Amino acid sequence: MDLRVRRDDDGSIWLRHGESLATFEPTILSHIRNQAEAQPDKVAYARRGPGGAVAGAPWQTITYSQLRDQVEAIASWFQARGARGQVLLILTGNSLAHVLIRLGAMAAGVIICPVSAGYVAAGGDFSRLEYVLKLVQPTFLFAETTAQIAAAEGLLAREPGTLIVAEASRQDWAGTENLGTLLATSPAVYLQSADPDAAAAYMLTSGSTGKPKAVPQSQRMILSNLHQAWQMLGKAAGWSDLMLDWLPWSHASGAFNLYAAAVFGGTLYIDDGKPVPGLFDETIANLRDIPLAYFCNVPLGYGMLVEALQQDEALRATFFSRLRLMLYGGAGLSQPVMDALQTMAVDACGYRVMMTTGYGLTESSSGCMAIYFPTDLVGIGLPMPGVETRLVPLEDDRYEIRLRGPNVMRGYLHNLKASSEAFDEQGCFITGDAARFHDPEDPSQGLAYAGRLVEEFKLNSGTWVRSGAVRAQLLAALSPLVSDILLCGINENYLAALLVPNATAIAEVLGDDARTGSPMEHPKLRAMLAERLAAYNAANPGNSSVIRRLAFMERLPDPQRHEISDKGTINQRITAEHRPDEIAALYAAEPTAAVLCAD
């Protein structure tokens, strides 16, 4: 491994890869044209028809030659309207139409801004949508159908821009244009090339610590990030092969896979499943159909996958038949889940499959650190080519992560204060995340994630709680009975937690009894949780980590209230704000039977 390490007098440690970032063509359209020339009939993107995999619907596809022609047609439509530098707000989720409008707009120099489906969902809170509309001031809006955005009609109807729809279920929306009209546009004789250094996308941050910020990403930033990853993970990553992915394209990591297919010539199968009960059946049905070389998911999805694989020999055989690489992101993967996956891999194909993860943010385009070296340790890896990582020492054995490179943003949209505070004196982006070395004497073993600093809090004793590390360890201890955790304790005497139940795992434990009563009131489940909590507390006895009480959430986290991030994990701050009564019950002087108290 060619790792360069530099230590400054102030205690900062600089890490960079010794290999330089390779040269590349800086616009996505040039890559699409190259792929269309080299493999015109290869499928670039595919999605199931109505009903999805569970209903046996066939795949609907776009080949590379079709992709080139349709992207150029859409770009020509925008160009004819002088739309370069204007904004297209994308209001609906992953689809073939989304691929075309997104890439066509970018090819014309139109800035795309995709928002989470929860921004426009029925019953949702539209305050974030209103905020984003004011922030990015779109000239164009895109929706798959008018029905999908009908709940937000009162807000969207006030926008003066053009609404582009793939299917108009209602005809009374003013200023509506059908996507078919764009696709029927004759490609311009001279299609102006987009400026690779101009803003190509406004990607929104999660907003977990306040209102979302818009990160301007240029095509050069995006393609730098893609080629950084390609140099490190290469063909093992499968971006030139078959991919199946559900991650939303409103999020940087989901958008990465969308772009990677077009740039490296792979086939991306759009998965309409998600790692939540009921919807994950769609993912499993797709995995029965598509033997992948590369699989990507969040840790929650891997936990659900392990359960399905353990119960289905045929699924295991298909899943591991071509698998070369598994990638996870968004949170730490529990060691038991990793061990179970590798045990099944050895049984199925005789060897362990490389498991990797990385580290990145919207501000760094996507992941820019990764595990690309042999290791059994769960961590975030080391920098990819072209990235400089500055590690600034904290008060303990941790360091704050700071980044510099061609994939890193230059500032937030219309937010001078946040932009000025986002960079240090060395020009590095201040991530607010902490890491530690697996072995301080051997940096080549990589870094482990050690929490998000802004999410850390104090008990009323003044003791700091590293919430990220505590949540990860407690979740590992309670898995698979629990799928996520809301850690509580700000200004309280002790830590407690609200649990998201894993209905499938609990049903296996309780059998028919799972259908009645609160899960915590079932003696068998309560005893299992008490035993696991005792083991966790024995291993983590300090006041900053021991958990005194547990309870299951009265209702599952609601994505329409922004309690769930695009990656399927709990938004800690917002969820806590929405559940004061449940948190108060955890700390009641005389807790009910729905609360489990540690001995």
pLDDT tens, position by position, 21-34: 999 999 999 999 99
**Whether residue 208 has pLDDT greater than 70:** no
The residue to which tokens 């009162």 are assigned: 154
* pLDDT above 90: percentage of residues in the chain: 65
Crossing angle for the helix pair 96-107 and 64-80, to the nearest 10 degrees: 50
Q: In this predicted structure, what is the pLDDT of residue 384?
A: 96
User: What mean pLDDT do residues 581-597 have?
Assistant: 93
> What integer is the mean pLDDT of 501-518?
74
CA distance 435 to 438: 9
pLDDT at 518 over 70: yes
Query: The dihedral of CA 317, 318, 319, 323: what is its sign?
Result: positive
265: amino acid identity, one letter: G
In the prediction, which pLDDT does 567 show? 60
Q: How confident is the model at residue 331 (pLDDT cuts 50, 70, 90)?
A: low
Mean pLDDT, range 325-331, rounded to an integer:
80
Which tokens belong to 225?
Answer: 């990030």
pTM value > 0.85: yes
Residue 472's pLDDT band (cuts 50, 70, 90): confident
124 pLDDT above the threshold of 80:
no
What pLDDT, on a 0 to 100 scale, did the predictor assign at position 75? 96
Among candidate residues 501, 518, 497, 527, the one with its CA nearest the CA of residue 587 = 497
* Alpha helices per DSSP H over 202-279: 219-233, 252-264
- Encode pLDDT of 450-471 as tens digits: 888 888 888 988 888 888 889 8
pLDDT tier at 342 (50, 70, 90 boundaries)? very high
Name the pLDDT band for 177 (thresholds 50, 70, 90): very high
| C-alpha–C-alpha distance, residues 554 and 501, integer Å | 10
At 153 the pLDDT is 85
Look at residue 175 and tell me whether its pLDDT is greater than 80: no
